[in-house]
Structure 1
Amino acid sequence: MKEEMSSVDIRYVVRELQWLVGSRVDKVYHDGDEIRIKLRTKEGRADLILQAGKRFHLTSYIKEAPKQPSSFTMLLRKHLSGGFIDAIEQHGFDRIVKIRVGDYTLIGELFRRGNVILVDSENRIVAALRYEEYKDRAIKPKAEYRYPPARENPLEVSFERFLELMREEELELVRALARKLNMGGMYAEEISIRAGFAKTTPVKELSDEDLRKVYEAMVKTFNDELRPNIVFKEGNMHDVVPIELKIYEGLEKKYFNTFSEALDEYFGRITIEKAKIERTRKLENKKRQLLMTLRKQEEMLKGFEGAMRENQEIGDLIYANYALIERLLDEFRKATEKLGWEEFRKRIEEGKKAGNRVAMMVKGINPKEKAVTIELDGKKVKLYLNRSIGENAELYYEKAKKFRHKHEGALKAYEDTKRKLNEVEKLIEEEMKKELNVKRIERRKKKWFEKFRWFISSEGFLVLAGKDASTNEILIKRHMGENDLYCHADVYGAPHVVIKDGQKAGERTIFEACQFAVSMSKAWSRGVYSEDAYWAYPNQVTKQTPSGEYLGKGAFMVYGKRNWLHGLPLKLAVGVINYEGEDFVVCAPVEAIKAHTKRYIVIRPGSLKKSELVKRIKRILEKWGYRVKEEDLMAVLPPGNGDVVEVVG
């Protein structure tokens, strides 16, 4: 998984961010390795993030600023706040960006550990994220800032110089490109593919004409059309790239309008995941320890329970075979007293060979304990010859009693561990619910129809429904036109539904709108699986009531013929669809969602709490690469509990 930007990435994002030139620096924030510059642009607020050794792009993920600004923050604010960005540049083809604001330049080194350095108009270091000394340069106050030793720039190299570099050493093509031209292995492999050669091809086997093809593929790659996307492998983010790459053909991708947005989505999600992991790390470790203890205690309980039951059964077995045991005890006593224990053992062995039934029952002899072990009903029973039959049985009952006490003690310890585990799990859940110190700024202006429940039918018609009394009132009064259709469920508290331009719609759209009406009604929360609904024309819907009656907010009368659809299933799907150039998470009838996306989650009324259902759907959408807020999902789902019955995609 990619963790930092490449030289190619920096080239594309710097070129893309030229529109920020002329923007005013409002404020500067510093947290760890990250510098965030809050800008006032011609399009409003923008936040530029520069993370040492990692990344540089606009961000909508805003960390809570430290309560006490660092000395580095104060210096940056002193020299940059109120100034205007005069230039945003990449140094050569290196992983270095420069932001010039008046007489000062902020330099971001995005290689290895990285650094952020502020220099003045004379290129003297004013301040830095960290002060360091190398053999060829020093990062310290008042010292002249020096760039790391220059590397070859593939965008400026001539074909003659390219040939010279390629033939300096006997290397494979991909190694020669990566090592000699400062581009990294991934782009070296991409260029090899575009040029039509295997990446392992030795350069010495390529003619000058072959290398010209490689050179031209390199130039074209680094000037390719912008097509920002995040690449997924097995449902997880793998890479973020500015252009379409052949090495990622066939893999799942999510495309963005700008490379900065793609970088923000990619690194923003990584930042949040790391923050979540860090927040609960200690609690998760404690949870693992408690789970291990719980497993050991479960094994111990099983052992005690088995031993308790075994001894109880043997005690009962002795009494159940009272006459036999009494006779055996008597015979064994007489034999050992008369013959001695060694001779007794020999006689038992001889008896076994002869097939003597009593001898065959003996499974062990212990002279020291004056005990003989016999097998009775498949169980081994040790009989002490110096004890009565009652005393022998009591020994087993006592053992059972001891194991019962041990079991009781172990059970208390087990319950105590379970209680501690539950407490830790609740703490983890509470921590996860708490707002992270990373928040995402949503700048998108909402569309007019988003104030309602809505979807696009399988035939392409916009269908709207009220969310409450106010939006029901607004929908009918302001947004239902004479060419629309009106739908309503035969359920108290059902929303009003309007099909825009619905009189041109077919049966499929009307069915979906009526199904939406029943599914978004209180029938869902009652766990009903089907209900009736009807459709009518807009001129049949009015606020006029019979004399003496009054309609409250959001209520309307429907006069004339109602066109009924009976037994409509309460069944919906959740998916992300593109409408009017934007992606929206939508909950709608299955066929409507299916017509606009290949991936969706089918839900029905069920036992899962709505909050848990939201979390489950959110996890599935995140695996598909979509970041959706829980409150946004909560807003589009029907009222009440539900279950996921199918996941498609």
Structure 2
Amino acid sequence: MKEEMSSVDIKYIVEELKSLKGARIDKIYHDGSEIRIKLHKAGEGRKDLIIEAGKRIHLTSYIREAPKMPSSFTMLLRKHLSGGFFDNIEQHDFDRIVKIRIGNYTLIAELFRKGNIILVDENNIIIGALRYEEFKDRAIKPKHEYKLPPARESPIEVSWERFLELIKSENVEIVRALARKLNMGGLYAEEILLRAEIDKKKKANELSEDDLRLIFEKMKEVFNAPKKPNIIYKDGTMIDVVPIELKWYENYEKKYFETFSEALDEYFGKITVEKAKIERTKRLEEKKRQILATLRRQEEQMKGFEAEMKKNQELGDLIYANFTFIDNLLREFSKAVEKLGWEEFKKRIEEGKKAGNKIALMVKSIDPKEKAVTIEIEGRKIKLYLNKSIGENAEIYYEKAKKAKHKLEGAKRAYEDTKKKLQEIEKLIEEEMKKELKVKKLEKRKKKWFEKFRWFISSEGFLVIGGKDATTNEMVVKRHMGDNDLYCHADVHGAPHVVIKDGQKAGEKTIFEACQFAVSMSKAWSEGVYSADAYWAYPNQVTKKAPSGEYLGKGAFMVYGKRNWYHGIPLKLAVGIINYEGEDLVMCGPVDALKAHTKRYIVIRPGDLKKSELVKKIKKIFERWGYKVAEEDIMAILPPGEGEIVEVVE
């Protein structure tokens, strides 16, 4: 099963991650060998970039619970990178090294061997790293210059002449020559030779120039193949994730994805979840293993006690079953020992065996120290003590059987106690598995087109949209304002451009609500103003054409002709959950608009409560109502600046 990304994987993911350019660094988390960078991309919302040293880099929806106490490395990264912008990302020389430029800093992800994550400044001097190390040719330490590992040949950039020079003289199998000399790994070396229909076991120096030319062409074909991300399954189990269609996996089950990040996230994310489950129950599983080992030992003990009890019971019974014979034997042997002594007795027995005497042949051993003789009768060996009566001899075995029985009963009780412990530990494991994982998957719903803007649905059911910044203001007017719409704007510097879709069919109530939205979403809110003026106009009055000698910047427009004014509009909005087109959406708009679409809403106005605190309060109210809404989703729809809750309608 694949455990880390290859150079080829990195080539394709880096191309994909270039789409993050311009995203703002919101927060950074660190746990073990992983860092997660929470970003915000204008018009697209939250993005989470995961980097695991030595293994992977991609966008993720599998979010591990952040450690309660941020590490020193977390604090260092946050200090230098938070609030910065994702400027660029590149792969170094087809190696497993990725560089991310954020302002004057570069974050370097080393994805080979144990790996590392290193922060350097504009002069390539190390500020900090996930781990500090020293090698023969470079040191990863603060205030040292960051040096790259020795360069390796790239199969993408290598020329035909250089390819020949590298491969032609190699006295090894062609598959090994490609994998080693051109930094591509075994899988892609196999794929190239499969496409070229050349035996991978042939020695590189035995191939003709035509064969090598074909391999070179197929290599270029593979590394320029169109992206088709997929996860490979064997017998229902994931075994690989690749960015392109591979002939090598032609007959395997596959699952295709729109982006390579999604494929990598599904693959590594599931591994992460499984690891989290294993890690969480590790101690309990170890305890379970110990209990199972104890049970096995107790089972063996019980078998031993049972066998001992049975054996001694049977030997006691055997004595009584042969009472007369054994009683006579004991008397005769005792007299012989008393008369001859043990040494002579042993000698006579040995002589009797040689002569074929039946009684002598029954004797298997003689123990003068214990004054005992072991005989074999009915196929069983039994030790008889000559200084004891037949009853006393039988009692010795019955007593042993009794002791074995007591031990067996004790062992059975201990066994039942251990079984209870096993059931308890299994219950604990089951309960632990039911608990919410420390790794959760963010299920991101596909946002509606208008959610990249400020928006609300009016009390009369009209969609109203407004810009969030210069870029989205430009988009609202240029891209989304049609001939049948209406345009609204507040008489406040920096106010959003607001458009009522199909607004020429709207009533006075919707137009007023749109104007109230325009003043409430303007800078007037952050300035603590309680009322402001706004107007509406027709789309053909709004233009990018500036008066002579003036220039209109990005997001700025001129309005010519009559403006229809509303004066002294109160800055007041409401927040709630509405159902629109079959989906529950968090909406912030005029109070009457919320009242028309939901029975429960929160009325807000400019105030002294920090926006982050206001968000937390709104989130708690939503949770009380049974809605789990991310803080960032609430933050995105609220007006700029501080505020306060005026009323909660339930």
Give the alignment's TM-score, normalised by structure 2.
0.61
- What letter corresponds to residue 274 of structure 1 in structure 2? K
- Shift of the 127–320 alpha-carbon distance from structure 1 to 2, 3 Å rule, reads closer
Deviations 1:179-211 (A, max 9, x none): 332222221222122222122323333333322
**For residue 296 of structure 1, what is the aligned residue in structure 2?**
297
**For residue 49 of structure 1, what is the aligned residue in structure 2?**
50
Q: CA deviation at 1:134?
A: 4.5
Tell me the distance in 2 between the aligned counterparts of 1:394 and 1:138.
81
**For residue 23 of structure 2, what is the aligned residue in structure 1?**
23
- Shift of the 185–370 alpha-carbon distance from structure 1 to 2, 3 Å rule, reads closer
- What letter corresponds to residue 114 of structure 2 in structure 1? R
Residue correspondence of structure 1 range 322-337 to structure 2 within 5 A: 322-334=323-335, 336-337=337-338
Conserved? CA contact 2:169–2:205, under 8 Å? no
Q: CA deviation at 1:352?
A: 6.7
Tell me the distance in 2 between the aligned counterparts of 1:184 and 1:337.
89
Tell me the distance in 1 between the aligned counterparts of 2:50 and 2:412.
55
Q: CA deviation at 1:389?
A: 2.6
* More deviation, 222-231/71-80: 71-80
| Matched-pair identity in % | 72
- What letter corresponds to residue 22 of structure 1 in structure 2? G
Tell me the distance in 2 between the aligned counterparts of 1:247 and 1:169.
24
* More deviation, 96-105/136-145: 136-145
Q: CA deviation at 1:170?
A: 4.2
**For residue 40 of structure 2, what is the aligned residue in structure 1?**
40
**For residue 181 of structure 1, what is the aligned residue in structure 2?**
182
**For residue 396 of structure 1, what is the aligned residue in structure 2?**
397
Deviations 1:498-538 (A, max 9, x none): xxxxxxxxxxxxxxxxxxxxxxxxxxxxxxxxxxxxxxxxx
Conserved? CA contact 2:2–2:241, under 8 Å? yes
Q: CA deviation at 1:59?
A: 0.9
**For residue 252 of structure 2, what is the aligned residue in structure 1?**
251
Residue correspondence of structure 1 range 530-545 to structure 2 within 5 A: none
Tell me the distance in 1 between the aligned counterparts of 2:337 and 2:73.
95
- Shift of the 381–135 alpha-carbon distance from structure 1 to 2, 3 Å rule, reads closer
Counterpart secondary structure, 1:216:
helix
Tell me the distance in 2 between the aligned counterparts of 1:120 and 1:364.
89
Deviations 1:347-379 (A, max 9, x none): 767777887765665555445544444444443
Unaligned runs of 5+ in 1: 447-649
Counterpart secondary structure, 1:25:
strand
Unaligned runs of 5+ in 2: 448-650
**For residue 93 of structure 2, what is the aligned residue in structure 1?**
92
Tell me the distance in 2 between the aligned counterparts of 1:374 and 1:160.
92
* More deviation, 363-372/192-201: 363-372
Deviations 1:227-286 (A, max 9, x none): 222234455433221122233333343333322122112222222333333333344344
**For residue 279 of structure 1, what is the aligned residue in structure 2?**
280
- Shift of the 54–337 alpha-carbon distance from structure 1 to 2, 3 Å rule, reads closer
Counterpart secondary structure, 2:281:
helix
- What letter corresponds to residue 129 of structure 1 in structure 2? L
**For residue 13 of structure 1, what is the aligned residue in structure 2?**
13
Q: CA deviation at 1:221?
A: 0.2
Counterpart secondary structure, 1:442:
coil
Counterpart secondary structure, 1:48:
strand
**For residue 386 of structure 1, what is the aligned residue in structure 2?**
387
Residue correspondence of structure 1 range 602-621 to structure 2 within 5 A: none
Tell me the distance in 2 between the aligned counterparts of 1:388 and 1:141.
90
Deviations 1:11-51 (A, max 9, x none): 11112233323333222212222121112233332211112
**For residue 200 of structure 2, what is the aligned residue in structure 1?**
199
Q: CA deviation at 1:58?
A: 0.9
**For residue 156 of structure 1, what is the aligned residue in structure 2?**
157
**For residue 228 of structure 1, what is the aligned residue in structure 2?**
229
**For residue 545 of structure 1, what is the aligned residue in structure 2?**
none
Counterpart secondary structure, 1:192:
helix
Q: CA deviation at 1:63?
A: 0.9
Counterpart secondary structure, 2:11:
helix
Residue correspondence of structure 1 range 485-504 to structure 2 within 5 A: none
Residue correspondence of structure 1 range 515-530 to structure 2 within 5 A: none
**For residue 600 of structure 1, what is the aligned residue in structure 2?**
none
When the two structures are aligned, how many residues end up with a matched partner? Answer: 446
- Shift of the 343–253 alpha-carbon distance from structure 1 to 2, 3 Å rule, reads same
Conserved? CA contact 2:364–2:376, under 8 Å? yes
- What letter corresponds to residue 153 of structure 2 in structure 1? E
**For residue 71 of structure 1, what is the aligned residue in structure 2?**
72
- Shift of the 325–211 alpha-carbon distance from structure 1 to 2, 3 Å rule, reads closer
- Shift of the 157–312 alpha-carbon distance from structure 1 to 2, 3 Å rule, reads closer
**For residue 131 of structure 2, what is the aligned residue in structure 1?**
130
Q: CA deviation at 1:84?
A: 3.3
Counterpart secondary structure, 1:396:
helix
Conserved? CA contact 2:175–2:201, under 8 Å? yes
Counterpart secondary structure, 1:89:
strand
Q: CA deviation at 1:334?
A: 4.7
* More deviation, 380-389/358-367: 358-367
Tell me the distance in 1 between the aligned counterparts of 2:123 and 2:107.
13
Conserved? CA contact 2:170–2:205, under 8 Å? no
Deviations 1:41-73 (A, max 9, x none): 333322111122211111111111122223332
**For residue 576 of structure 2, what is the aligned residue in structure 1?**
none
Q: CA deviation at 1:420?
A: 4.1
- Shift of the 60–349 alpha-carbon distance from structure 1 to 2, 3 Å rule, reads same
- Shift of the 384–208 alpha-carbon distance from structure 1 to 2, 3 Å rule, reads closer
- What letter corresponds to residue 109 of structure 1 in structure 2? E
Counterpart secondary structure, 2:189:
helix
**For residue 214 of structure 2, what is the aligned residue in structure 1?**
213
**For residue 318 of structure 2, what is the aligned residue in structure 1?**
317
Tell me the distance in 1 between the aligned counterparts of 2:375 and 2:149.
87
Counterpart secondary structure, 1:182:
coil
Deviations 1:129-183 (A, max 9, x none): 3344555544444554443333322222222332233336444322332233222
**For residue 608 of structure 1, what is the aligned residue in structure 2?**
none
- What letter corresponds to residue 237 of structure 1 in structure 2? M
**For residue 173 of structure 2, what is the aligned residue in structure 1?**
172
- Computed over aligned residues only, the root mean square deviation of the Cα atoms, in angstroms, reads 3.2
**For residue 592 of structure 1, what is the aligned residue in structure 2?**
none
Counterpart secondary structure, 2:25:
strand
- Shift of the 5–393 alpha-carbon distance from structure 1 to 2, 3 Å rule, reads same
Tell me the distance in 1 between the aligned counterparts of 2:330 and 2:149.
96
- What letter corresponds to residue 156 of structure 1 in structure 2? E
Instruction: From the CA coordinates, give the structure whose radius of gyration is larger.
Output: 2
- What letter corresponds to residue 406 of structure 1 in structure 2? K
- Shift of the 387–271 alpha-carbon distance from structure 1 to 2, 3 Å rule, reads same
Tell me the distance in 2 between the aligned counterparts of 1:162 and 1:184.
16
Residue correspondence of structure 1 range 364-443 to structure 2 within 5 A: 364-443=365-444
Counterpart secondary structure, 1:35:
strand
Q: CA deviation at 1:442?
A: 1.5
Deviations 1:367-406 (A, max 9, x none): 5544444444443333333332322222222222332333
Tell me the distance in 2 between the aligned counterparts of 1:247 and 1:112.
25
- Shift of the 354–244 alpha-carbon distance from structure 1 to 2, 3 Å rule, reads same
**For residue 106 of structure 2, what is the aligned residue in structure 1?**
105
- Shift of the 155–346 alpha-carbon distance from structure 1 to 2, 3 Å rule, reads closer
Tell me the distance in 1 between the aligned counterparts of 2:388 and 2:177.
91
Tell me the distance in 2 between the aligned counterparts of 1:89 and 1:48.
15
Tell me the distance in 2 between the aligned counterparts of 1:322 and 1:383.
13
Q: CA deviation at 1:340?
A: 5.8
- Shift of the 329–128 alpha-carbon distance from structure 1 to 2, 3 Å rule, reads closer
- Shift of the 187–323 alpha-carbon distance from structure 1 to 2, 3 Å rule, reads same
Counterpart secondary structure, 1:240:
strand
Deviations 1:533-562 (A, max 9, x none): xxxxxxxxxxxxxxxxxxxxxxxxxxxxxx
Counterpart secondary structure, 1:14:
helix
